[in-house]
Amino acid sequence: MNVMKRILLADDNPGLRSALRLLLETRLELEMIVEARDMEHVLAQVEDSHPDCIILDWELPGRPTRERVTVLRTLVPHLKVIAFSARPESKQGALAEGAAAFISKNEAPMMILDKIRKICQQEGTLEGCLDKKVNLST
């Protein structure tokens, strides 16, 4: 059985981080999930844990505020960035900056999980993640 590697959950809402972590831990086989509350913490966690995928609150406080994907991929070139936001107007900017996909926080939890799986192409593994933008329309 393939094991999903390392995921970084980055959101300033601790309740949302905990809920998403619980969803991922109970539905997917993971090596490690780390959390971050702001961009400073994200950068430190990326350097320390070298995640394979980051679910990044697109409005996360802290610098850099622009070109976040580029900065993150400077630290971990293979990093898959999933922009996560309650603001649908953030989608275009996130994808233009290089995010692999955009997921709305307003989606039902199982839809969020299904979209994460689709981004990774293979259930339970990050080995199939795409470097290009993923069409999540259903």
- Range in 2-6, 14-18, 50-54 the model is least confident about: 2-6
| The pLDDT of residue 116 is above 50 | yes
| The pLDDT of residue 132 is above 80 | no
Question: Are the CB atoms for 30 and 24 separated by under 8 Å?
Answer: yes
Q: Is residue 59 part of a domain?
A: yes
Which residue has better confidence, 127 or 45? Answer: 45
Q: Is residue 132 part of a domain?
A: no
Q: Is residue 45 part of a domain?
A: yes
Which CATH number covers residue 93? 3.40.50.2300
Q: Is residue 134 part of a domain?
A: no
Q: What is the pTM of this model?
A: 0.83
| The pLDDT of residue 62 is above 60 | yes
Which residue has better confidence, 76 or 2? Answer: 76
Q: Is residue 125 part of a domain?
A: no
Q: Which two tokens stand for residue 135?
A: 């069409």
- Please give the average per-residue pLDDT across 32-50, as a whole number: 94
Q: Is residue 27 part of a domain?
A: yes
Q: Domain count for the chain, please give it.
A: 1
Query: What residues make up the domain containing 22?
Result: 4-120
Give the whole-number percent of the chain exceeding pLDDT 70: 83
Question: Are the CB atoms for 14 and 37 separated by under 8 Å?
Answer: yes
- Please give the average per-residue pLDDT across 46-70, as a whole number: 91
Q: Distance between CA atoms of 2 and 127, rounded to whole angstroms?
A: 9
Kindly provide the b/e burial profile for residues 113-133, where b requires at least 16 CB atoms within 10 angstroms of the residue's own CB: bbbbbbbbeeebbbeebeeee
Q: Is residue 80 part of a domain?
A: yes
